[in-house]
Each structure stands twice: as C-alpha cells, then as structure tokens.
Structure 1
C-alpha cells in the first residue's frame, strides 16, 4: 500500500505547486510521451491525463498485490504426491501382470484389475483437476500481467528530467514489482507444468492399460465356453502341482493392498457410513429399551420379533451391508468379499436357535463351503489344480441343497416358498458347473460354482434383510402405542406389512440380481448392453425416442402411483381417530391427494424422460378420439370421482344406501368407490352411479339416527300399562334425551293394537345394539305383566283327503282317531 501513498503525495504536489514553465513543460512531455516512443503508429491513442495515470498506477499496484497473493498459494503437492507414486506403482503392477506370459489370468482377476485401474484413474483425475485449476489461475495471472505491461504508463522514459521525481520513483517501483511478479509466475508455471506432464503421462499410461484390459477381457469372454483343459480320462495338459499356501498368501497380499488402498481413498465415506450405522443401531436399541421398560406386554411384543431383540447389532449389520456396493464407487472384489463374510457370519449367528438343528447344521456346512469358494475367487491366476476339489465342492453343495428340499417338503411352514425355487436354481447351476468341469471348461465351471454359492448365501441374507426391516417397523409402531387416540394405535400392522413388504422384496430382488450378475462377471456387459439399448435413438413415423426415456416415464409414474396409494392408505388410517367428527376427516378428499400425487408424478415423468409435451399432446389427442368412440362411461366415472371429492356427498366411513344396496364407504377411488356391506361383502359401485342414482347418507351431517319400533299387543291388554312399560324401557343412558323419546298408539290392526316407539341414538354404529336392548326389555316386561303379544292365527278346514279318507272329516279328533285305527290294523293290534 506504500505505492498508494506515493501517488497521493504526487497528486497533492501537482495541485499545490506553482505553475511555472518547467513544470508545464514536464506535463506536456508526460502527455506526449506515447507518441514519441512509437512515432510510426498510424492510430492515435487517447492521451491520458496525469490524474488518470496516477489512478492507473494505484489500480495496478492493488492488482499486482492480488496476483502475488494468488501465486503465493502454491499447488498442494503433498496430497498429489501421496497418491501419484502409489498409482504409478500399481499401474506398473497391472502392466507387469498383463505382460506375464507364464500364467493365465482368470476373468475374475481381469475384472479386478479393471476395477483397480478405474480407481487409479479416479484418483489421478482428482489430481488432474487440481493441477488444471492451478494452471487456469496461472494463465489468468499471465493475461492480467500482460495487460498491465501493455499499458502506456510503462512506455514512459523515467530518465526524462521533465517528469516529476516522485512520479519517476513510483513508476520504477511499479516496474520492479511487475518484474518480481513475472519471475514468481514463471517459477509457478514451471513447477505446475512438471506435475501436469507427470499426470499426463500417467493418464496416457492408464488409457493404454485400459485398452489392454479390454482386449484381455474380450479374449477371456470368448474363451469362457471353449475347452481350456483336458478331460478327466485324458492325459493332463496342465501342471497338477498345487501349492495352496503359496497361492493363498500371494493372493492375500495383493488383495490386502487393494483393500487397504480402497478404504483409504474412501475414508471420509467410511466414516460417514459408520456414524449413520451407529446412530441407527442406538435408535434400535432405544426402541427395545422403551418396550422393555414401558410396555405392559413387552414379552409378547418382543416374542413376535425373532431377530432384532436377540441381537440388535447384527440385525443392523444385515440391514446396512447389502447396500454398501451401491454406495461405494467401483468396489474391488476384496472389499465385496469382506462384506459378504461379515453378512454370512451375522446371518449364521442370527439363525442360531431360530432354525431347527438339522437345518442349522446344513447352513453351517454351506457357510463353510461359501468361505472356500470366496477364497478361491480371490486367486489371481487360473490354477487347474483346483479342478477336483472344486468338483467335490459342487457335489457336496448339491447334497446340501437336496437336504434343504427334503426339509422343506416335510416342514412347509418353516421356510418361505421361494427358498425351494432358489435351491432348485442352485442345484441346476452346480450341475452345470460339474458338467463344465468334466468337459474341460474349467474357467466356466469355477465361475458357475462360485456364482451359485455366493448368490444363494446373498439371497438368504437379503431374506433376513426384509424380515428385519419389517420387525424394526413393527417395534417402532408398538413404541408409538401410548394411548388409544394416538395415530399408531389405529394402524393395522399386517395391512402395512402387505404393502411395504412387496416394496422391500422388490428392492431385495434388484440387489440380488446385481450381485448375481457381478458374481458371473456379467455386470459390466449387462450394463453396457442395457445402456446401448436404452440410449439408442429410434424413430417412429416422424418422432424419435429412446427406450430409456420410455422406461423412465413408466418408472416415475409407477413410483408415483405407489406413493399415491400409500399416502391415501395412511391418510384413511388417520381419519379413524376422527370418526365422530365428519368435518375434521379427510374423507373423499383423499382422492384429491391421490390425483395430486399422480399429476405431479406424471409431470415429473414427462420432464425426466424428455419425451416432450408436444408428443404428450398427440397422445392426449388420440385419447380424446378414443373417448369420443367408446370411453364415455369411463370418463364419466373419472369426472364423477372428482365431483365427489369436491362436493363430498359421501366420505370414507359414511353409512349409505344406493341402488338398493347399503353399507359403509371404504374407499372413494378415481373410477369407482368401494362399499363394504353389513354382511361383509364388498360392493364396487362406479362413481357415476353414486351421482346419478338416489343416494341415502345416514352420516352426512352427523352420526345420530332415529330408531322406530312397531310393537303389537292383544286387544285385551291394558293400554295405559303398555304405554308405561314402553316409556320406561326407552329411558336408557344410550338414548338421547333431546329429541325426547316418544310412544304413540299407532293403529288397530287385524290381530293386535300397534304402538309406535321412537327414540334417537347418538352414534349410528350403536343403534342396532341399543334397539336389541330395548326390545329385550320390552319382551321381558310384557311377560312379567301378563301382556300378550299376539301372532297371526288361521283356522284350517279340510274338505277332502284324496286316496286315504273317503268320507268327510268333521274335526281334527276324528282324523286322529282314523289314523290311530289305521296304525293298529297295520301292526295287528285291535281296531275299532
């Protein structure tokens, strides 16, 4: 900032000094100096004033200070040098391994090298971004410095005696500062260029290695189905010596380096996931603690959950670890193998005591076989000496699978139904592995054996993954059951389980498919082929589209429909705690919620898929044509549903009668509504019928209902006593006092005097029970007071009884005498 003070001093001297000839001549020299320096220039530049030159000098000084500050922040070589040498070393190992002609690389190890190279590339790209950012900063400083050097102020001759001495000093110091900045810039550019060239060589090397790996991968894929070893009955064409310990420790050393390096590169992500894991674990622990300390039936609640109460920590592991391959980028096989070992150990401990002993012993044997297969999967080279012990493992695996099938047939309720399908699939895979081994396809045989075993173990782990999530949801619901008016107390857990379980089973199937393709080393091929298939542009008439856009569209619409249905379901549950107040319930407005979610989902689907609203307009135009021809009824029902949602003539939970059918409204859908009849049946009524037909809603404005009883007594009864008895029986607490209950003498019928009893009940759902209580009381009081309830009586006159009676029967007694005499005659007894 000292230059700023110098320029201010100069400005003060200029305006305060006397105006003599020599100073005026100096000023004139200052203003004309640019033309004197370059007299050959045809373009005349605007001559800056002294004040402008001073202001420029000040600005340039500040700008140079900022440049120096930027140049002082050197490139962070510590982080770059921490990763680049190791990346160079590992890339050298990859190149050496690819060029080694003495051994044959397995397809699994080729994929491992490919993943390793991707991780190296990712790390080098991070360093490249830092160097590129630094280079851009230096280029910007260079351009700014050149702009300062090209200014007229640097063309002045500081030796000119006509220029003020202080001004000469300021310009000299400014030039010195520019030179120092230029030297510092040159040093930084050379320094950065060194690392830039080193990273460039590294990227070139990685690109070459990637091409070599792609070539090796294609060769391995083509040779996968070809014969790579002799038949068992032929002479061996491979080295049968097997040093298992040497192969194991060599592979262990390499995989340990890859594993530790990968964890170190993803250290921040590992720390974050660890924090999330323990937070979730402590939350589950707190749920169990609350249930044990605050719930009256805690033992019954915890007994319904089989796995979480027994070991919450391992349960959380089973929930979290299957998701890790999707969170981490390009995880190596060593990392995935460690995750699988942890999952299998956790599953084994959780299944202890939950499975029958024979089935658990089968699982232990399978877990041991899984361990051997996963260790063999870590080997770098194809070792044909594994042939016979892998063949034994395949046979042993089929034996274990058959035991599981037999157990399933004897105990169909112990294991889920899909286990049988999974076991048969495992048997088929191991059978193919045995055939491939026998017919000299060793690589294919090992791949099938490893993939089938790992996939089966992962399927069992994912099955527990779904069950444990369901248990955690159930336990959380039980924790929320504090009082009867709470929201969670109205939740039917089995209904929620049916809805949510399908979603989590779908997620588990997707995860298992990912694992299965990765175990077969087909994941990259599948993803590449799928990407090409989904992103390739196709045309239909004059429109272009991709299957990816269509898939995204239907996927977003499907997800929005699931969200709409589940939101409506939980909203209807919430309504149950406001059943007595119709105004506070959402009721048929849930339909608007569903329509809103579906509309937003549709708009998001259109935007995410990139289909375009112009194409949607074409579809809507075709749809309107279809409406004109044959969809009027459907559209009528759809529009009627919207009208029902706005007008609210019915709500969910209302008791209605329509078209001779009565029941309780269970759902107001987009096209139709669901009514549950009082006999338990469910009636589906189109929304159009609800608006077009006469609709009786017993609970439209309130829950009250009037009950009417017609009671008949004999003509010889005391009518005042009957009235008193009826009045007394309707003086119950459940019967409303306003409007007051009333008893009327209704009519003189054919066989009875009829009384009309009227009373109101507060709750529509209870009127049948209250009517039952009143009628039982009336009947009991009538019996105690000798009041007769008449019933219809008719006199029967028989004129003739064909083929049996040949004379007129005057009375019932004569008919009985006749039948009695006929019976005695048939049995040999006396007759009249």
Structure 2
C-alpha cells in the first residue's frame, strides 16, 4: 500500500501556466505602456503651455525692444559730463597755484556732486533697462530648459511633428533672442563707462573734501604771501575770470535742471501772492479807502508780492550754488529799494543803496574762483569802503532816531567788525577767511533788512485784510481774518530767523562740518535687534503726521467763524459747516498713509495696526468709535451744520463746531454745551436753520368779554405788518381760541427768520400790542372772582 501511495503523481496543467505568464507579461507591458502614454500626454500638455509661454514672453520682449533705449543720447550726455568734469578740475587739480581757494573748492565740489547725481541718474536708467533685458532672457532660458521639452515619443511620426514644431518655434524666437543678447552686450559696455566715470567723480569729490578739511583746520594760517611781498604764482586774470564764468554757468545750469519743480513752485507762489495783493487793492478801492494808493504794500503789488514770495519760498532750494542764491537776494534787494524810496529818509536810503552796491561788488568778487593780486586789492577796497560806511552809520547818532527798529544797528555793527577783520587778514595773507568775512558781513545786513521789510509788508497786508474781509469768501479759501489777526504769527518770525542763520552760516565751511554729522545720523541705517531703520524715516513719519494734524487744526481755526456766508447769486446762505470735518478727516487720513509711505513701512504693517485697532475697539473703544463714526455720518448727511440753531435734550443754541468726537453748541445763556456725536445723532434734534429757515411764534392774548373782536384782529394784523422782523409770507393769522365768562382768548401766529432772536421779537410785539390797546381803549382781561357774602342778623332766627 505504501509503495502504491508513493507512486501516485499529481498531474499539472502546462497550458494554464503558459497562459498566466503570458497574461502577466501582457499586463506588465500594458502598465508600462500606460505609464509611458500618460507621461507622453502630460509632457505634451506641458509642452503646449511652454510653447505658448515662450511665444508670449517673446512678444513682450519684442515690444520692449522696439521701444528701444537711446544709448547714443546717453553716451553724448556722458561725454559732455566727462568734458565738464575735466574742466571743473581746473584750478583744483590743474593750475592750482600756490594754495587752494576755498571758493574754488566749494564751487568744484558742488559741480562734481551735481555731475555725480546726473551720472547716477543715467546709471539707474541703464541698470533698469538691463534688468528688464536679463529678466526676459532668463524667462526664455528657463522655459527652454523645461523637462517636458526633452520627453519625446517613440512614434516616429509624432517625433517628426514635434521636431517640426521646435524648428518653427526656434525661428519665431530667434530674432528676439539674438537682439536680447546684442542689447545686453551693448548695455553692459555703457554700464562700464558710467561706472568708471562715477568712480572718478566720487574719487575727485573725496579729494576735494580732504582739501576743504585742510583749509578749515588752518583757517587763520597764511595761504598766500602778504601784499607787501612778491607773489610766488600769478595766473593771468583773464584765465581766472574765464574759468569762473564757466564754472558759475555750469553750476547754475545743472542746479536749475535738477530743481525745475521747485522753480515752478516759486513762480506759482509769486503769481498767487501778487494776485492776492491786487485783489486786496481792488477791494480797498471798491470800499472807497483810497489811502491804499499811499500804502507801502499796495502801492506796487507786483513788486511787493514778488519780494514776499521770494523771501519765503527760497528756503525750499536745498544747497543752492552761490550764484543762484545771490541772484535771489540781489533781486529782493533791488525790489525792496523800489518800495523803500518813498518810505524812509534820504539819508538811510543812501546808506541802503550803498550797502546793496557794495554787496553786489562783494559777491561778484566772491565768484572769482582763484586768488590773484588784483582780486586781493579789490577786496581791500570793498572791505575798507564797507567798514567806513558801517562806522559812519554807527557814529552818526543824530540819524538813529529816524529808524523804527533800532536793533538794525546790531547787524551793521557786526558787519563793521567783520569787514575790519577781513581787511587785516587779507593784508596778512589769510585770503580764504578774509573773503568769507567780506561777503558774509555784507550779506548779514542786506538779508536782515530785507526780512525786516518783508515782515512789515506781511503785517500791513494782514491789517488791510482784517479790515476788509469781514466775512469768509470762496476766493480766499474761507479764511477768517478775525482769527488770523493783524500781525504775522510767531512761526513766520521763526522761519525768517532760521533762514537768516542758514544764509549767514553756509558761507563758512564749518557750517557744513556741523551739518554733515547730523546728516549722517539721520540718513545712515541703524539697527535695533533685527530691525533696521533710519532716523530720517522716523522723523519724516512724525513730521507728516504732525503737519497733517496741525494743518487740520489750522483749517478748522482759520475757516470756522460765527458768521454765515451768502451766495452772491441768490442770497442764500452757504455754510462750510460739517465740510470742515470731512476736510480735516481727509487731511488726517492722507497724512497717515503718506507718513507710512514716506517712512518706507510696508502696507502689511498698516494691516496689523488696523487689526490691533479692531481688537481695541472690541475691548474698550466702542464709545470712542461710535462717536467718530457718528461724526462721519453727521459730516455726510448733515442733519446739523455749523451755525445752525437747534434744540436738543431741552437745550437750544447755535452749533459752534463739529469735531471728531464731539460737537460744541453755544447755548442762549452763553455757555458751551459739549455733546458727544453719538448722543447728538441719537437724540431728537429740532433744527431751525434748515428747511424753510423760518420759525413760527405764537402770542397768546386775552381781552375783556364784550370787546370788539374784529377791531382787535385788524389791530393785531396791522401791528405785524409794520414790524419788519415779521415775515409777510406766510401771512400772520389771528385765531380765537376760547371764550370764558370774563375774557376772550386770541392766538396771534406769525413767522420770523429762524436765526433771529425770537425772545426779543415776542417782547417787542407785546409792548407794541399793549401800547396800541391803550390808545384804542381795549382792555386786557384780568383774572376775576365773584365773592358773595351772606350777612344774617343774630335775631333773625326761625323758630
């Protein structure tokens, strides 16, 4: 049995095994083919996208290339800058003589700074253009390196079609690609030229700065031989003058080119001030105040307005070249001379003209950039003349009484001392400090006198404006001159004092030594932990917010007033009213966003601040926000306006102001009632100034029973017709209210303007009624009671 069991063989299905293996091979191949097909399909879709993107970028790049970049113009400007650069080095690096002139170093330094700015501007434009070119190039290259482009089909037909598409695409983008490569090469060459010139300018600027520091450290040392000794180096005066004229022209041209916007603002300011003065003069004539013709300010409005605008707006020009600031000051001095000729004595007019003449000579001498014996003798002549003129003005005390401001003698005394020092230092050979003292001494007197008379002109203008413009007008931006006053505000004096200090101090190199560390402190990057910042950004942020707040308050202060404004056409009242609140809110929000933008704070930070405010509102600022939002609603819907007569919460009065959080109402008793805007908006308010601007009054009268009622009615109506404060339309009405045993009650209804004193009108009406009734023997009813007394005798008793 065992042997039989071992000999049993299990049969196998060979056909089935072959079938399974073939099926497994089939499925494996199918899976691989499916994966391959999927990859091919996905690559095909991606290839189509890449092809379209390449075409799109190529079209954009082609359009950008068609706009082009004028490299020829940049190279022409660069050649001109290089030529001016080499020319400006004359007298500093070439033909410098025995010593450097401080004036020449300063002028050359300003020119090189201007040229550096020009080259930096061109370099920035070239860099931006190159960045755009490289960006297009990188986008095309990155797309051509896409993996999907390297996935090819095993099908020869599909492969052939794909290669055909690649060939067509290559032809389409090839011109753009070649042009990009060519332009990048050209721009890189131009970039190298700009970088080389920029580096040369910066090196020369640093070297001039070193020379200036050396001169500052040896301020009172002898740079040149004394005048009684023979000069070591003498350059022909013609060459010096030619060089000086060229450098002055160059400095002025480039400065005006870089500050054309400020120059346009200066012209606009002059036009605005002149227009205002002509308007003021015409208003005086229309009111019959002919003394305006003899006024200093309005005798020549064109000249006066130009002087005022130039004196204030000139401080917007930062670090101007000497020739530019000199032109402005001489222009002001000449215009002031025209104004003063009829308003000061001949003696002081002569002194002033002599000072202006000497100042012009001094600034012309200061424009000579290299020292020479001829110039030094001219300096001695000018300094001596100025010293004698100043000394004569101080000694001649009999003429001091003619001065309205005696303190003007202090600048004259300072000038006299400075000119004496200049004279001695020049003789000894300390040329640079002598030249600075010569010009600065005269400058301080001329600028002081100009600013003094500008203040007089401004104060005179405010005086006339306060007397003429009793109400706010649209053409004057609704300025309330009752609040402005008749004198310039304190900050105007501070601006002129600070301006005098700047004009006086920037003639000294030490002034720049003091200002540069301050500049570095404000503009250099500082770190606080991981946060980087500059002080100037913080200052700008604070200043813009402060200016926005102050401007908002100024608008509210100068534009608000108790009187309404009348429309010239229809006589209707026009109120600034709650528009002031909208203007103030606009100023605050504009200042807020400008402050963030100027400080370089990203917009995400504003979002964080708004989110923080949202949390604060949720916790404890609901009331404040409610009042702020209510103020906005009042400003837009205008249920009440400034100067409106209203009644709220049992209190009546005139709306004095509408603020961010609360409104102020002046009650009839004279007190200020401060109401939060939320309470004002949520209360039932009676507004007597809106709608028809009329108010109905009622007078209750009781006459004795038996009086002729028709006569009383006609008398009452006649009284209302004669009273000019009572409106004729709607017509007054007399109604009989009630009848009693002793009297007949009448109600007199009449209308008055809502802004009138209704209590006084009612009082006047009652007085008139009483007088008329007395004349007509009409008796007013009096309260009466009938008392019946029953008297009985003691003996009259009934049994």
Question: TM-score of the superposition, structure 1-length normalised?
Answer: 0.59
CA distance in 2, matches of 1:781, 1:562: 59
Q: Distance in 2 between matches of 1:541 and 1:601?
A: 29
Partner of 1:518: 506
Q: Conserved in 2, the CA contact under 8 Å of 1:747 and 1:755?
A: no
SS at match of 1:552: helix
What corresponds to 2:55 in structure 1? none
Equivalents in 2 of 1:197, 1:634: separation in Å?
60
Asked if 2 retains the 8 angstrom alpha-carbon contact of 1:549 and 1:611, the reply is no
In the alignment, the residues of structure 2 paired with residue 524 and residue 624 of structure 1 have an alpha-carbon distance, to the nearest angstrom, of: 49
For residue 742 of structure 1, what is the aligned residue in structure 2?
734
1:741 touches 1:760 (CA, 8 Å); kept in 2? Answer: no
For 2:330, the equivalent position in structure 1 comes to 341
Report if aligned partners of 1:654, 1:697 keep a CA contact under 8 Å in 2.
no
**Hey, what does 1:785 align to over in structure 2?**
776
1:782/1:223 CA distance change after superposition, 3 Å: farther
* Structure 2 counterparts to residues 469-508 of structure 1, below 5 A: 487-488=474-475, 491=478, 494-495=481-482
> Would the alpha carbon gap of residues 547 and 658 (structure 1) be closer, same or farther in structure 2, given more than 3 Å must change?
farther
Alpha-carbon offset, residue 668 of structure 1: 1.0
Q: Of 586, 596, 618, which residue of structure 2 is paired with 1:596?
A: 586
Task: Report 1:507-656 matches (<5 A).
Answer: 511-512=499-500, 514-522=502-510, 524-538=512-526, 545-565=533-553, 576-577=565-566, 587-588=577-578, 590-611=580-601, 614=605, 641=631, 645=635, 650-656=640-646
Judged with a 3 Å threshold, the aligned counterparts in structure 2 of structure 1 residues 137 and 541 are, in CA distance, closer, same or farther, namely closer
Which residue among 289, 309, 313 is the counterpart of 1:319?
309
Counterpart Cα distance in 1 of 2:596 and 2:628: 22
Q: Name the counterpart of 1:761.
A: 752
Report deviation, 1:696. Answer: 6.3
For residues 249-281 of structure 1, the C-alpha deviation after alignment (integer angstroms, 9 at most, x for no partner) is 776444322223345557878999999988988
For 1:146, the equivalent position in structure 2 comes to: none
**Distance (Å, rounded) in 1 between the aligned partners of 2:216 and 2:614:** 48
CA distance in 1, matches of 2:665, 2:732: 33
Judged with a 3 Å threshold, the aligned counterparts in structure 2 of structure 1 residues 536 and 246 are, in CA distance, closer, same or farther, namely: closer
Tell whether the 8 Å contact from 2:656 to 2:665 is kept in structure 1 after alignment. Answer: yes
The equivalent of 1:96 in structure 2 is 94
**How far 1:347 sits from its partner (Å)?**
1.9
Q: Residue 91 and residue 205 in structure 1: after superposition, are their counterparts in 2 closer, same or farther (change >3 A)?
A: farther
Choose 76-85 or 269-278, whichever is displaced more. 269-278
For structure 2, the 5+ residue unaligned runs are 1-60, 139-174, 784-799
> Aligned ranges for residues 672-711 of structure 1 at < 5 Å?
672-676=662-666, 683=672, 685-687=674-676, 691=680, 697-699=686-688, 701-702=690-691, 703-709=693-699
CA shift, 1:652, in A, is: 0.8
Secondary structure of 1:765's aligned partner = coil
State how far apart, in whole Å, the 2-side matches of 1:400 and 1:791 are.
89
The residue correspondences of 1:420-459 to structure 2 (distance < 5 A) are: 424=410, 447=436, 450-451=439-440, 453-459=442-448
| Equivalence for 1:47 | none
Change (3 A) 1:785 1:358: farther
CA contact (8 A) 1:238 1:384 kept: no
Deviations 1:159-205 (A, max 9, x none): xxxxxxxxxxxxxxxxxxx9xx99xx99x98xx98x99988776565
Shift of the alpha carbon at 1:557? Answer: 1.2
**How far is the alpha carbon of 1:95 from its aligned partner?**
0.6
Q: Does the 8 Å contact 1:659/1:693 carry over to 2?
A: no
Cα distance change, pair 479–429 in 1 and its aligned pair in 2 (3 A): closer
- Corresponding position: 1:113 with 2:108: yes
Counterpart Cα distance in 2 of 1:611 and 1:81 = 40
Alignment check: 8 A CA contact 1:667 1:673 kept = yes
Q: Which residue of 2 aligns with 1:228?
A: 221
Name whichever of 669-678 and 389-398 sits farther off.
389-398
Task: Give the conservation status (yes or no) of the 8 Å contact 1:744–1:756.
Answer: yes
SS in 1 for 2:227: coil
1:363 to 343, 352, 369: 352
Are the counterparts in 1 of residues 655 and 663 from structure 2 also a CA contact under 8 Å? yes
User: Residue 252 of structure 2 contacts residue 321 of structure 2 at CA under 8 Å; is this kept in 1?
Assistant: no
1:211 paired to 2:211? no
Residues 449, 779 of structure 1: CA spacing in aligned structure 2 closer, same or farther, 3 A cutoff? farther
How many residue pairs were aligned?
A: 668
Superposition map of 1:182-221 within 5 A: 205-221=200-216
CA deviations 1:261-311 (Å, max 9, x no partner) are 345557878999999988988898888999999997287486497446526
Alpha carbons of structure 1 residues 753 and 422: separation in structure 2 relative to 1, 3 Å: farther
* 1:95 counterpart SS class: coil
Is 1:256 paired with 2:249?
Answer: no
Asked whether 1:378 is paired with 2:367, we answer yes
